[in-house]
Structure 1
């Protein structure tokens, strides 16, 4: 009984995740007209949106806790647009404008599968370090 009360207190006292406030939306056009020629029903896309929302927030929240992402960087984001990007060899999580991120990957080709946590974080390099070497190479 005491252990369950202590566990309940720890859960109640857990701070909110640094990405909990993000609104995740799908770029409907990219899923409707994708390079794989696949079609997805509205209910299937709704379930996918929920799945990508949960995974993206969990990955970013964990990265905030272990110092890979500063909570201030995550707090500055309000909206994430998820797009199926045919031909992308890895996920890309970048900021096209202030307060927004775009997550692109071959979602349609992968049957609405998700990349792994490490791949998502690796793909966030230009968001996290816009002046880094990886981003400078993209501009060339």
Structure 2
């Protein structure tokens, strides 16, 4: 996964134990949908996408960001197809990231009600989100 070399090789098989195994949990109460079990594959956050228009390739896209990739990619796509932005504008547009789901990594934390917004998100949007009970964090564009 990514550009990282596996830290553990399974015996003499030469098979690297991917860091993506950390996506599983062992305690079903923690996350019943991602418990380690035979035949299961770890959750993968990679989302390379090819969008078609009238059956022909229209847009090839991918983003970085671990658990936030699906959200960021969808916002990028909608900025282009729904809001008429070009690729540069969509890449620079403000977005909102939710942390409702449990993290795929580390201690699998969940931060319900917490959003990260780009600093350029207008004050009226921030006000509405706070009124809805969200806790806001900000990051620069």
Question: Who wins on radius of gyration, i.e. which is larger?
Answer: 2
TM-score by length of 1: 0.29
Higher share in helix: 1
Structure with bigger RCO (C-alpha 8 Å, 6+ apart): 1
Higher share in strand: 2
